[in-house]
Amino acid sequence: MSSERFLAIANLLLPEVLVKYFEMTKHYTKGEDIHFYFTELNKTPEEFKSITLHSKGFFPEATVQDFPIRGKNVFLHITRRRWLNKATGKVVTRDWQLVAKGTRITSDFAAFLKELY
C-alpha cells in the first residue's frame, strides 16, 4: 500500500487533533502492535497569534495507547513542540487533552472503556 493511501486511511481512524496539528512521520506494524509517530507542526497556537513566538524545540516523546484496530494494539508516539515568547522569555505550548488523566491512553479510548464498565 502506498504511503499516501495509508495516510488517508489512518486519518479516518486517528484522533482528529493528530490529523490537524501533527505530521505523521513514521508508522510500522510489529507483531500485534501498530505504531504511529507524530510531530507537532510549527503552527503558532491561536491564543498566541498576537505574540511573537520562536520555535524552541520539542518535549520528549510521549507514547499513549489508542483504540485497537482489527485486533491490533495501537500506540501513538507524540512529540509536542514548544515556542519561546520573545517578549517575556517564557515557554509557550498548546494545552493538549490527548491523554486521559492518570492513564497512558487517549481520552476518547478512556471514555469508551469507562462506558463498558
Q: Is-contact 77 116, C-beta < 8 A?
A: no
The structure's pTM equals 0.73
- Note the pLDDT tens digit of each residue in 34-59: 999 999 899 887 777 788 888 889 98
Residue scoring higher pLDDT (45 or 100) = 45
Grid coordinates representing 32 are 500485534
Calpha distance 73→60 (Å, rounded):
22
Question: Does pLDDT of 27 surpass 60?
Answer: yes
Residue 77, pLDDT score: 93
Average confidence (pLDDT) over 61-66: 86
Question: Does pLDDT of 2 surpass 70?
Answer: no
- Note the pLDDT tens digit of each residue in 67-78: 788 889 989 898
* CA nearest to 41, candidates 95, 5, 78: 78
Residue 34, pLDDT score: 92
Grid coordinates representing 4 are 499516501
Residue 1, pLDDT score: 55
Calpha distance 31→100 (Å, rounded):
26
Average confidence (pLDDT) over 5-20: 74
Burial profile 3-31: b = 16 or more Cβ within 10 angstroms, e = fewer? eeeeeeebeeebbebbbebbebeeeeeee
Task: Please state, in angstroms and as integers, the Cα–Cα distance from residue 89 to each residue in 24, 53, 86, following that order.
Answer: 30, 10, 5
